Amino acid sequence: MKSQLAIVRHGQSEYNLENKFTGFADVDLTAQGREEALMCGRKLQKMHFDDAFTSVLKRAIETLDIILDTIGQKNIPVFKDAALNERNYGDLQGLNKAETAEKYGADKVALWRRSFDVAPPGGESLKQTQERVLPYYYAHIEPLLQQGKNVLIVAHGNSLRALMMHLENISPAAIVHIELLTGVPRVYDFDDNGKISYVEHLAQ
């Protein structure tokens, strides 16, 4: 059955603004982040969602709340789970990214941030993040899509990059170069066979 899936990285957070590694740190949205969530809702205005999913971190939860309020769909079921949390940045959480690059070297920090299977000290690699995201997707989200339902996921840059690798068949080498912008929806159309027939990036 035909269905749609929209994925959204939360709006700008306080740590995004301060150029800090966020990970599991539970920080608020900035005023700009709330505006990004509002603009995202306007881009999704014509879509109807049956269910919504988010992490247990408040920056994603608030972004989802703003989107649902904007599109007038506050009453749909919302599921929150730590499986969709941002990757754990371990010892780097709360540290300034530029200062960390000066300390460890830009190449090393770039490897920690963008590679598929290299984890930062005390944290998770993208591969490890994917190992918790995909089982949750298969168990809870994919069955809804197969029933012809439209689903909205509001989560984080890395948990969504991990999901994108599966949805778009992106290789570990290619995912290094992909970054999701805050508050910009990506919409997948599924055909009657459950295959993705169209991907739209609503950046404008």
Strands 196-201 and 186-190: antiparallel
Alpha-carbon span 54 to 57, nearest angstrom: 8
- Tens digit of each residue's pLDDT (9 = 90 or more) over 58-79: 999 999 999 999 999 999 999 9
pLDDT at position 202: 79
pLDDT tens per residue across span 122-174:
999 999 999 999 999 999 999 999 999 999 999 999 999 999 999 999 999 99
| Residue 200 appears among annotated catalytic residues | no
Contacts of 119 (CB under 8 A, 6+ apart): 90, 112, 125, 128
Res 200: pLDDT: 86
If pLDDT is split at 50, 70 and 90, which confidence band does 203 have? low
3-201 — its CATH code?
3.40.50.1240
| Amino acid 24: pLDDT | 96
Name residue 132's amino acid: R
Q: How confident is the model at residue 1 (pLDDT cuts 50, 70, 90)?
A: confident
Kindly name the residue from 10, 36, 62, 124 that is annotated as catalytic: 10
Angle at CA 41, nearest 5°, toward 64 and 180?
70
Q: How far is CA 171 from CA 78, 131, 167, 179, in A?
A: 31, 15, 11, 14
Where along the chain do its domains lie? 3-201
Average pLDDT over residues 175-185: 93
Whether 86 sits among the annotated catalytic residues: the reply is yes
Kindly name the residue from 36, 62, 86, 124 that is annotated as catalytic.
86
